[in-house]
Chain A
Amino acid sequence: MAATVVEVKNLTKKFPAPGGGQEFVVLDSVSLDVKEGEFASLVGPSGCGKSTLLNVIAGIEKQSSGDLTVHPAAASTDGVIHVGYVFQSPRLLNWLTVEENVKFALEAQAIPREEWQGRVSKYLEMVGLAGQEPNYPLNLSGGMQQRVAITRALAIEPDILLMDEPFSHLDEITARKMRMDLMEILERAKTTILFVTHDLREAVYLSDNVYMMSTKPARIFKHVHVDLERPRKPEDPRLFDMEKDLVQEFFAVLEKQSV
């Protein structure tokens, strides 16, 4: 049984309403566990607080109540918790080269300087960007920029890798290629992932576990285990069936809300 890396318990996040009225609840008592080596997805409609949960785990935002614990992965060598984050847009520092962008994360995470070069080469090669070190991000296509962002997050060898709709800004062909490559990369890097998306097909294709979220209340209403062997094929009919079932579940929940 793999150890738990991320433990979220009854986590609630509220924002004050702009007019000073009733508070806006973006996460309502959310609980979930992510085990080491697992690919977990959080699926839900826009505005259901999925990204907020990632921000709380990354330490950018603070929860209003509830508990959050991140344990160092068993493979961790320094005992420090490293959280990698890949955002919807690449969020690269355009004035730094590809190499410097990756090193920015390594420096921020206090990775020993003598490991930097090795990690830059290793992970750039892994995402298929070997030789792009001296280029500036604006010289790269959108897909390649997102690969740099993935490299940046992988290079810190994170205990947990957070991904917030990382392929939603790409055209479908590029996104599909990126998903397939991500599967391969993870096969090699053995990273634990919490992935946020609104695309159910993407979620079932990539994940071991899918958590489904509703908007009002902003809760996880269902947890599905995707029990399909890897490597998976995007055209696998079993994935389509599963997606179909989950879509129905979402509609059932939506209908209950609208009454």
Chain B
Amino acid sequence: MSRRTGMRIASILVLIASWWVAAWFTPPEVLPGPFVIGKTMVRILLEAGPEGNSAYFHIGITLLRILVTFGAAMLAGVGLGLAMGLYKTVEYSLLSIIPLLLTMPTILMVFLAVVWFGFSEVGSMVAVVAVVTPFVTVNVAEGTKAMDKSLVDMAKSFKANKKMLLRSVYIPQLMPYLMSAFRYAFGMTWKIVALAETFGLKFGIGYMFFFWFEQFDMEQVLAWILLFVILMLIIEYGVIARFERQAFAWRKSFSMAG
């Protein structure tokens, strides 16, 4: 085991131990211990939940909401960002609006979306798009402007068509910017979706936080929160990070460097 993995595991163990100690001094209805929560998590995953819906149903709904709103926000951001980087007119017209949206506190954005669209799928999507899209747009626009023009000239001198340019020259150069936008967008999306679910949407993981919170069942609330965090970590480090490593393999293989 490398020193790095060793330290990582140790820090998690320390965290669980501190939790266990804290739970020792706290009434169980306020802070249940780690072992009880672990058992509750297993029970949630194995047994049918309240209202006849299993945990997988709620997890599925939440993932679907994240996927759809995230997709919409990314698509809008990448499109606007490319347009902004390539065309001065678009850049100048968006330049005054974007900082406005970027400065707006996230929680206020969600609040406004709720006031205008109610606690609905549309409301949460509007909130996500309003918060995430400006950030993605700025990132992609930066990337578009930072592209190496000399490579475009090279491709043109060999008469590469638009499709080849996009596939082999533009997109690979945009990848670092796309990935950082992607990570941020994903993180923001799941936080907003969880918020919307907790305070208004029917079904989903956030809905379960609130359901159990109303029943003063801290065991269930904490178990659901932990499940949610673990799920997002798996997506973040298992899926996104793996994809990133593959996409940037050409950068890190300095095995034969001269």
Q: Which residues of A contact B (CB under 8 A)?
A: 55, 58-60, 83, 85, 87, 89, 91, 93-96, 104-105, 107-109, 135-136, 138-141, 144, 152, 156
A144 in contact with B258 (CB, 8 Å): yes
Q: Chain A residues near B175: list those with CB within 8 A.
A: 95
Enumerate the 7 nearest inter-chain pairs by beta-carbon distance, A residue then B residue, closest first. Answer: A108-B160, A141-B258, A108-B158, A58-B157, A91-B154, A95-B172, A85-B157
Q: Chain A residues near B161: list those with CB within 8 A.
A: 108
- Cα(A161)–Cα(B82), bound, Å: 34
B168 in contact with A59 (CB, 8 Å): no
- Cα(A108)–Cα(B161), bound, Å: 7
- Cα(A39)–Cα(B32), bound, Å: 83
Count A/B pairs, Cβ under 8 Å.
68
Q: Which residues of B contact A (CB under 8 A)?
A: 150-151, 153-161, 164, 168-169, 172, 175, 250-251, 253-258
A91 in contact with B151 (CB, 8 Å): yes
- Cα(A204)–Cα(B240), bound, Å: 56
- Cα(A109)–Cα(B151), bound, Å: 16
Judged by DSSP, the binding face of B is: helix
B172 in contact with A93 (CB, 8 Å): yes
Question: Quick one: which of A58, A141, A144 has the most chain B CB within 10 A?
Answer: A58
Q: Chain B residues near A89: list those with CB within 8 A.
A: 150
Interchain CB contact (< 8 A) of B250 among A83, A95, A109: A95
Would you list 27 pairs from A and B whose C-beta atoms are within 8 A, ordered by A residue?
Answer: A59-B159, A60-B153, A60-B157, A83-B157, A85-B154, A85-B158, A89-B150, A91-B150, A91-B153, A91-B154, A95-B172, A96-B250, A104-B155, A104-B158, A104-B168, A107-B164, A108-B160, A108-B161, A108-B164, A109-B158, A138-B250, A138-B253, A139-B255, A139-B256, A140-B256, A140-B258, A141-B258
Question: Who on chain A is nearest to B249 by CB?
Answer: A136
Q: Chain A residues near B150: list those with CB within 8 A.
A: 87, 89, 91
Give the distance to chain B from A193, nearest Cβ to Cβ, in Å: 15
Given A87-B150, A93-B169, A93-B172, also A139-B254 (CB < 8 A): yes
Give the distance to chain A from B197, nearest Cβ to Cβ, in Å: 39
Given contacts A58-B157, A87-B150, A139-B257, 12 further A-B contacts (CB under 8 A): A93-B151, A95-B172, A104-B155, A104-B160, A104-B164, A105-B158, A108-B158, A109-B159, A135-B256, A141-B258, A152-B158, A156-B158
